[in-house]
Amino acid sequence: MVRGLYEAAQGMLYEQMRLDVIANNLANADSIGYKKGRIGFNLALPTNYVPPQRIILASRPLRNAGEMPWMMLTRYSVDLSEGSLRQTGNPLDFAINGEGYFSIQTPSGVRYTRDGRFSIDANGYLVTRNGYKVLGQNGPINLGVGSQIQVSKDGTIRVNGRVVDRFLIVDFPPTRGGGGLSKEGGGLLVAPSNLQPLPPNV
């Protein structure tokens, strides 16, 4: 009986985890660059089966069920499939057509995102909505203030007709569990160390 109560409580806990993931996905359905989470469970079978044992009581014999299977959390992953693109009319809004992520410099290290809604700060750096600097091949991208900006399909950035940098776009080898990426909030992803540079279209 105690085992049954434990299994019931565990099942309710996992169901709440599943609902939390679904609720978070729905709440961010319209968020630019958001990657939905996925959660999965499996039925775990006993590694060593314990056969039922007969328990003799004064009234009648009972049979112990032995070791029972239980539910276990097997994976939480991030869905990295590409979202739809749309025109915004903002010259500082960018999108990656295909695989890959923008590289972002944060106080905690380099992070990655598909959210290309950037702006220029007071020092001329291209930054995210949270003020983090966007990285190019030569480091943080500085476009200056009041400049005419053009970006080619390979991510090369021109300011007033002069090439200044190229977006640092990276991708990750396909592995189980979403390539090891995990969400950090604000549309940012934390990546493993095995980065693979990829030159997608911008």
The answer to whether residues 105 and 52 belong to one domain is no
pLDDT at 187 over 90: no
pTM: 0.62
Average model confidence (pLDDT) across the chain: 74
Q: Is residue 110 part of a domain?
A: yes
The answer to whether residues 116 and 73 belong to one domain is no
Q: Is residue 93 part of a domain?
A: no
Q: Is residue 133 part of a domain?
A: yes
Tens digits of residue pLDDT in 46-85: 555 555 555 555 555 544 545 555 555 556 566 666 666 7
The answer to whether residues 119 and 39 belong to one domain is no
Look at residues 170, 171, 164 and name the one whose alpha carbon lies nearest to residue 125: 164
The answer to whether residues 68 and 106 belong to one domain is no
Q: Is residue 32 part of a domain?
A: yes
What pLDDT score does 90 carry?
86
Tens digits of residue pLDDT in 115-173: 889 999 999 999 999 999 999 999 999 998 877 888 998 899 999 889 999 999 988 76
Q: Can you say whether the dihedral through the CA atoms of 79, 80, 84, 85 is positive or negative?
A: positive
The answer to whether residues 149 and 68 belong to one domain is no
What pLDDT score does 23 carry?
76
The answer to whether residues 114 and 147 belong to one domain is yes
The answer to whether residues 72 and 116 belong to one domain is no
The answer to whether residues 57 and 116 belong to one domain is no
Number of domains in the chain: 2
What pLDDT score does 201 carry?
47
The answer to whether residues 112 and 171 belong to one domain is yes
Q: Is residue 188 part of a domain?
A: yes
* H, E, C per residue of the chain: CHHHHHHHHHHHHHHHHHHHHHHHHHHCCCCCCCCCEEEEEEEECCCCCCCCCEEECCCCEEECCCCCCEEEEEEEEECCCCCCCCCCCCCCECCCECCCEEEEEECCEEEEECCCECEECCCCEEECCCCCEEEECCEECECCCCCCEEECCCCEEEECCEEEEEECEEECCCCCCHHHCEEEECCEEECCCCCEECCCEC
- For residues 95, 99, 104, 107, the Cα torsion angle rounded to the nearest 10 degrees is 140
Q: Can you say whether the dihedral through the CA atoms of 139, 140, 144, 150 is positive or negative?
A: positive
The answer to whether residues 56 and 130 belong to one domain is no
Q: Is residue 95 part of a domain?
A: no
Q: Is residue 154 part of a domain?
A: yes
Range of the domain at 139: 101-197
The answer to whether residues 110 and 186 belong to one domain is yes
Q: Is residue 94 part of a domain?
A: no
